[in-house]
Structure 1
Amino acid sequence: MRAESSEKPGIREQHALRRRNNPLFDETRRNVANEDLASARLDDGLELDHFMEEFQLLVQRAIDLKPNTPSETVLEIKAALDKSYQQACALPGDQTQVKQAISQLVNAIMRAIRNGIDSDALAEQELEDEETARRAHFSLQELPLVSALTHPESPIGENELIPSLLSEPEQTLAPSLTIFDKGQMEVLCEDARAFLSQLDPDRALDEAWRRLELMEEIFHQSHQPQRGDH
């Protein structure tokens, strides 16, 4: 009997499916039984239950904010909401409504903050920059690999980072790589080439080699010296 995967699995089930029968992973890790999938699904479900309990309390705190609430408290709640969006992206099931609620609450808080800066041009620009960065961060968290890698209890261990990257579809690999800085990308490219050269010297794993080439291309393109640099 084959265990069907969830329509939208959480990060633990995702990683179990990523490993299953995948030649890029160690043999013991690629042998993912139905029981392993069920266990991963259970852990994802437990995280969902815990999240919803905490999220309801957080939403109530946000709703209860008063105009005279200290700014430290307001910023603390906004930071918690930002974190909740990241958490929601890692959960199983369709969390669209939860993420929309978070965005609406954050936008309401940002409007209140903006109304209190008294036309301060510098503060206004800082708020715009923060909003742009938050939108980009939220967008990246929608990528399954990113939500798994940035989770505080990521199911992707350090020794499985390279196999996971080389297993990622090319259309989502490129944006997922933006979470790494120049130094990290350089190391990842070197480690990935060494990994594949040892694992697959005959280059039978065509897709993995193409993803390595994409990684190296992205690294070189994004870190070329700009005109005027010395």
Structure 2
Amino acid sequence: MIIKPSEHPGSHERHLLRKASNPLFPFAPTLDDDNLIDAQRLDHEALQTFNRDFHELLEETTSLAGNVESDVILQLKDRMDRAYESASSLGHDVSKTKDAIRKLLSFIMASVRRGAGTDMQAHQELDQEESAREAHFALLDAPLVADLLSPNSPIHPDELVPTLLSADKDELQVALQMFDEVQLLAILNQGAALLEQLQNEGVNVSLPQEKLAFIQGYAEFAGGL
């Protein structure tokens, strides 16, 4: 290979690196120059699109007048939340961009709180919303979670289980927080079937079996099974 993996890969390149020559994935690609260039191109296009959209969002937010309708504020807040999700899946170092989104969200939330006046119930609901947002943003710090939640995720639904069984345990533990009891049970059943099939084909599945056992333990600890 002539082309080298990126220092800060985006979601497409990360997923290519997960899948390359990985027997857990059906029709796993090889890691060659063509595949790597294609993944890097998709990540670059995603970065350009994000930069354009975020610049527009930034201009809209910073140009808000003193009296703005609540619907406009709430729409901007939702768009900021989605922008943070999108930024988390990008290549390159996006820490400054994510910090900027946090600051803009603080600005917007301050406006929403002012609009709530002395309504204590409204303020409590805003506190809960901000706590949930912080927890969600913390999950997005894990690249696997960011890739799964990306609006343009390269991870197809039928690749979810192979992806989880290919993750390191630290990232897997974070990602499992996304799933409810029913989903965890489905992941376990599909994972067991996949590993049995591969084992019958002569594939060494000792490492993914450890991951499946980890998922089983997590589900039991979470009270799901």
- Superposition TM-score tier, normalisation by shorter sequence: over 0.9
> How much does 1:140 deviate?
1.1
Could you tell me which residue of structure 2 aligns to residue 204 of structure 1?
A: 204
Q: C-alpha separation between the residues in 2 aligned to 1:114 and 1:166? A: 43
Q: Which residue of 1 aligns with 2:113?
A: 114
Question: Which stretch shows the higher mean deviation, 200-209 or 185-194?
Answer: 200-209
TM-score, L = length of structure 2: 0.94
Runs of at least 4 residues of structure 1 off by over 6 A? none
Q: Would you say 1:53 and 2:17 are equivalent positions? A: no
Cα distance in 2 for residues equivalent to 1:166 and 1:30: 17
1:25 matched to which residue of 2? 25
Q: Deviations over 1:141-162 (max 9, x none)?
A: 1211111111222211122111
Residue 228 of structure 1 is matched in structure 2 by none
Structure 1, unmatched stretches of 5+, are 226-230
**Match of 2:171, SS?**
helix
| Kept after mapping to 2: 8 A contact 1:166/1:208 | yes
Deviations 1:120-178 (A, max 9, x none): 11111100000001111111112111111112222111221111110000011011011
Structure 2 Cα separation of the partners of residues 138 and 98 of structure 1: 13
Query: Where do 5+ consecutive residues of structure 2 fail to align?
Result: none
* Match of residue 15 from structure 1: 15
- What is the distance in 2 between the residues matched to 1:153 and 1:111? 31
- Report the identity percentage: 33
Matches for 1:156-175 after TM superposition, within 5 Å: 156-175=155-174
Q: How does 1:176-191 map to 2 (within 5 A)?
A: 176-191=175-190
Between the aligned partners of 1:164 and 1:117, the Cα distance in structure 2 is 43
Q: Shift of residue 41 of structure 1?
A: 0.4
CA distance in 2: counterparts of 1:125 and 1:192, whole angstroms: 41
Q: CA separation in 1, counterparts of 2:140 and 2:15?
A: 16
- Mapped contact 2:25–2:159 kept (Cα < 8 A): yes
Contact 1:3 1:34 in 2 (8 A): yes
Q: What one-letter code is carried by the residue in structure 2 that aligns with 1:91?
A: L
Which segment drifts farther, 193-202 or 212-221?
Answer: 193-202
Q: Deviations over 1:179-210 (max 9, x none)?
A: 11111111011110111111125783322111
Which deviates further from its counterpart, 197-206 or 5-14? Answer: 197-206
Is the contact made by 1:89 and 1:142 (CA closer than 8 Å) also made in structure 2?
yes
C-alpha deviation, 1:67, in angstroms: 2.2
The answer for the alignment partner of 1:4 in structure 2 is 4
